[in-house]
Amino acid sequence: SVCEFISLCYTFLIKEGFLNWQELCRFTSKNPSEFLGLNSGVIEVGKEANLVLFDENEEIFAPKSSLYSED
């Protein structure tokens, strides 16, 4: 899910210093939206508002089964 993806990116990319929030947002939102020709990916007047709120202080525990499938 998006929640697990963002949590993993925060834990292993941002906290470890590989990326900052601005870079992560660009790689996961702005660039894909531009590539696909979508009217989203940035917060601007006239753009579609697809937002995710993330609390760095909130801990989540994902069940192992939600991270992969048997297919």
- pLDDT, one tens digit per residue, over 11-24 is 999 999 999 999 99
- 32 or 66: which carries more pLDDT confidence? 32
Domain that holds residue 22: 2-55
In a domain, 29, yes or no: yes
pLDDT, averaged across the chain? 85
Question: Quick one: what percent of the chain has pLDDT higher than 70?
Answer: 86
- The pTM for the full model equals 0.68
Residue with tokens 């993330």: 54
d(CA 37, CA 39): 7
In a domain, 20, yes or no: yes
In the three-class reduction of DSSP (H, G, I as helix; E, B as strand; rest coil), residue 61 is classed as coil
In a domain, 22, yes or no: yes
Q: Is the dihedral of CA 69, 24, 26, 55 positive or negative?
A: positive
The pLDDT assigned to 35 comes to 92
In a domain, 68, yes or no: no
Number of structural domains (the chain) is 1
